[in-house]
Amino acid sequence: MPQTQSRPESYQCPMHRKVRQSTPGKCSKCSMDLMPEGARFGLLRHVMKSPVHVAMAAVMVAIMVGIMIAVMR
């Protein structure tokens, strides 16, 4: 018997948990893609879609490491 995948009951914004709807779409507050309710790491998947977001995260990590090294000296 073939297995059928069940659709999630609702979709929600990873940043605004109160924004929910029954079909996939965009958040009305920030325009992020709505994720299936209960999806793990939804925000991380969204960030990894954009090279700009990845570059910003790398810069932030580099700055934090630099500050930590400066403080420890």
pTM over 0.85: no
Could you give the 3-state DSSP secondary structure of residue 33? strand
> What pLDDT is stored for residue 28 in this prediction?
92
pLDDT digits (tens, 9 = 90+) for 32-67: 888 888 776 766 777 778 888 888 889 999 999 999
CB-neighbour burial class of residue 14 (10 A; exposed 0-12, middle 13-18, buried 19+):
buried
Percent of the chain with pLDDT over 70: 84
Give the separation between CA 15 and CA 44, rounded to whole angstroms: 11
Question: What stretches of the chain show up as alpha helix (H) in DSSP?
Answer: 42-48, 51-72
Closest CA to 23 of 38, 31, 15, 12: 12
Identity of the highest mean pLDDT range in 9-13, 25-29, 50-54: 25-29
pLDDT at 5 > cutoff 90: no
